[in-house]
Amino acid sequence: MGPILGAGFALGTYNFRLLRKSIKNLLIATVVSLTVSALYFYISPFKDVQLELLARTSPNIYDVLIAFFGGLVGVIAITRVEKGNPIPGVAIATALMPPLCTAGYGLATLNASYLGAFYLYTINCFFICIATFFVIKYLKYPAAAVVDPKNAKKIRYGITTLMMLMIIPSFYLAYNLFQEKRFTKTVDEFINLEFGSRGYTVIYQKLNYNSNPKTVDIAFLNKKLTLAEMKLYNRMLADKGVRNTVLNFRQDDADLKSEILKELGKQDHVLTEKDLTINNLRTELNRYKVEEPGLRKEMEILFPELQSVTLGKIERYAETDSAKMNWLVLYRTQNEKETADSPKIKQWLSERLKTKNILLINESTTNTPD
């Protein structure tokens, strides 16, 4: 992370000595990370392809935008007068390591398709560096050396050329991803319309978009098709606009059972990923959930001057970037001139809720915490 920001800073201040040092350190870190990840996957007995690896093999324009804005967050956090927490740096670092690990997996298994993750790593490094360069230029940091306008122009042209070389392939990959999604959607609609609606039970379905021609493998539970019917369905699929695609019907295939079991294993893994995501969302929601059903009534009994008591939880940033969870208590008094005993209420709430992070706000008289 440091060498990337250092390279951006060096470009922005024309500090070529720092630039050479940053590039050297980045290359060393990259080689070490690739070597360690490749060695790990080579000696590890677990070589099954996971969704985390596949997700990083085909970067597109959205990854460019994520890298650029991620770099902006990182450099802004570092150049602030009030130093914040290391979360932006950690977030960007975690965006750099997974593509390198995926590329290491490709090296360990001698599978060139996973080396596309190295392109994602290059995108992340380059656009974090460019984001740093833009912020340094915007903040008008003094130049470390005097550069004549001709050389400064060459630097700008070089940066623009590299940006184009990085962005153009990402547009192509984004277009390819869109075409693949449209292909998958059209084929799924065709299968549901022609087979599912007629009561045919599809027990196996596999799409191969990257082959030439593209293939769609299907197997039914008990339906057998004749050769003429297979040709008919292939023509119908072509009429739907799905060109250069072969519809294969797997019938009496000896390897079908093992492939079905493999696909079921993948589906179980996808369900596990969804369960983890749902569990994380529930955990996040529970942080803000008020699980004190009798608290409001207790307050109205002990402090009868309080009216319309509202309870909640909020994150509060108290002059730092670190958030603290606070209990928020909104109330009204019976009339605007009447005041509640705020210290006493806070003391009681602290004992009752086992926390000192309490914001007490009287909506009748003020909009600021008591």
Q: Rounded to two decimals, what is the model's pTM?
A: 0.54
Strand 245-249 and strand 214-220: pairing?
A: parallel
**What does the pLDDT look like over 207-263, one tens digit per residue?**
888 888 888 888 887 778 888 888 888 888 888 888 888 888 887 665 666 666 666
Quote the percentage of the chain above a pLDDT of 70. Answer: 80
The neighbouring-strand residues paired with 331 are: 362
What DSSP string runs through 241-263? T--SEEEEE--S-TTHHHHHHHH
Read off the pLDDT band of 24 (50, 70, 90). very high
Sign of the torsion formed by the C-alpha atoms of 359, 362, 367 and 369: negative
92: closest CA among 129, 135, 44?
Answer: 129
Q: Which residue in this structure is represented by tokens 């250092």?
A: 6
CB-based contact 56:117 (threshold 8 Å): yes
* pLDDT at residue 88, rounded to an integer: 58
Q: Which residue in this structure is represented by tokens 């956090």?
A: 77
Quote the percentage of the chain above a pLDDT of 90. Answer: 3
What DSSP string runs through 68-126? HHHHHHHHHHHHSSS---SHHHHHHHHHHHHHHHHHHHHHHHT-GGGGHHHHHHHHHHH
Strand 202-208 and strand 214-220: pairing?
A: antiparallel
Domains (range + CATH), the chain: 2-146 (no CATH), 186-265 (3.30.70), 295-362 (no CATH)
* pLDDT at residue 368, rounded to an integer: 46
Read off the pLDDT band of 319 (50, 70, 90). low
Least confident of 4-8, 54-58, 109-113: 54-58
CB-based contact 289:265 (threshold 8 Å): no
* Phi, psi at 309, each rounded to 5°: -75, 130
**What does the pLDDT look like over 273-289, one tens digit per residue?**
666 677 778 777 877 77
Residue range 320-338: mean pLDDT, rounded = 72
Tell me the CA end-to-end span of the chain in Å, nearest whole number: 43
**What does the pLDDT look like over 150-183, one tens digit per residue?**
877 888 888 888 878 878 887 887 788 888 888 8
Q: Is the confidence at residue 343, as pLDDT, over 80?
A: yes
Six token digits for residue 224:
């057998």
**Under DSSP, is residue 221 helix (H, G, I), strand (E, B) or coil?**
coil
Sign of the torsion formed by the C-alpha atoms of 85, 86, 90 and 93: positive
DSSP H/E element including 220: strand 214-220
Read off the pLDDT band of 335 (50, 70, 90). low
DSSP H/E element including 153: helix 149-194
